[in-house]
Structure 1
Amino acid sequence: MTTTTSPLRLSHVSATLGGHQILHDVTLEVRPGELMALVGPNGAGKTTLLSVMAGDIVPTSGEAVLDGRPLARWKVAALARSRAVLPQEQRLAFGFRAVDVVRMGRAPWARLPQEDLDDVVVADAMHRTDVLSLAERSFPTLSGGEKARTSFARVLAQQTSLVLLDEPTAALDIRHQEQVLSEARRLAADGHAVVAVLHDLTVAAAHADRICMLADGRLRADGPPQEVIRPEILRDVYGHPVDVIDHHGRLVVLPHLLTHDQEPTCAP
């Protein structure tokens, strides 16, 4: 697979959607060889930030740069060979077979020498996501988890240096959550830059090299899990008290239970 030594850089990025400012002055780098988890409360701006990283949303101020070139200046086909995106929702209106959906990831390589590898790459991606048995099934007939894994196989088949995953584990059972995140870690180990939006803080702490925490469209914390997954930070950002326990070297986040006469604390 092709990798890059140049990071994705966001410099003082702000973004406005529908007249509302969603992101405020976000600066960060996405580095090859690293799995970054984007976490934060609902409405924090995680999906919007991922869309800026993908080049799907142009910042209202600031700049997003991939390989030394602003994302807004990339041609569509070239960008598709450099970054792959797994969206939150898997929408396909037509009854494509699962194998056809995975093969869509090879479209950016059409009429290039890499096209000769299509069959091998597609089969490998489906094997790694445990969807080979679904190859002939119509995509709309799959369960939510099966659709998510098939779509992740499409991302793997695209073979890009930057991989952006929006809630890749949301519809998955425990075994397939671990499988998908293990593949994300494998990509990072192979030199790819991987960003995943995750809601489960325990899962994020277990798998990510680095955690970027958003709140109200602002970057509130950025660093290794041990520095970011801390009770005082989580209470401030999420507006709810938690305990963080070190369980055999893995951080486990346990929210305090509310009794019937308690009200949740509002996040700032």
Structure 2
Amino acid sequence: MIQLLGMPFQQSNMWPSGSIESMIIQQMNEDTIVYSYQSIDELSFELMLRKNIILSARAMNQSNMRFEVFAKSYCNPRYWHLTSSGGFLLRHDVKPSDAIYDIYMNSSQYGFECATAKVIIYYHALLNLISESLFNQLFQNIYLYGWHVDPDLGLTSNYTGHFLPGDVVYFKNPDFDPQTPQWRGENAVVLGDGTYFGHGTGIKTAEQMIHALNRRRKPETNQSAYLTNLITRPSFKHLAELSMSQQVYSIHKYQDAVVQHNESSISFDRYVSYL
């Protein structure tokens, strides 16, 4: 269930019926876990970021990014240094926001494995929600390599039987073929419509995802792949706090500027509308 300032939260008309946000709220309310928020803005931020994770996953599925093992990973050298281990290290002469956008804009120049794909989705989804200036301030030294992430993204993994749209789940393939260890499992984004996105497998139902992994088992084995109850999520609360504190800082900064420069050509209300 959802609690707002310690009180049960009821669905409002802020999110129309049938929207991704409304679907997430419904699933939260059906869960035995209590999702607690200190403000409607904090709840709204999580809903928007979860929605963006889904949209970024679908955009990756429609792109020309390829699935590659670490040894064969590649990237656009204009924005990233390819490390000997197959990671992408942000160049110091480019903006982090430009580098993340480039992965989607010039997708044919990128190949990476499935964990790296999920981290890219997280960065892209967040970038489409907060300001570029805040994103560039927070993530100045991005290194894309498996589950390696900046601390401010705050990824956590835990076990639960209830998945929410925007979560990343794990399909395990216990009898994977040693010749193709990359298929020991698949990290997949929960899309909310009964399907999952995995980089390398595409968008599939759980049954289809399991079937795809079973085709990559050791010869003459019959232990099926399965969906585990392990989920991974960014720290929605921490990111919401960073975003909201930046907005307050920007408003106060502008107010101070107005006091010092009465000749400012735009109004405070107009400025706030840009945040």
Decide: shared fold, TM above 0.5. Answer: no
Q: TM-score, normalised by structure 2?
A: 0.24
Q: Which of the pair is proportionally richer in strand?
A: 1
Q: TM-score, normalised by structure 1?
A: 0.25
Compare CA radii of gyration and give the structure with the larger one. 2
Q: Which has the higher contact order (CA 8 A, sep 6+)?
A: 1
Q: Which of the pair is proportionally richer in helix?
A: 2
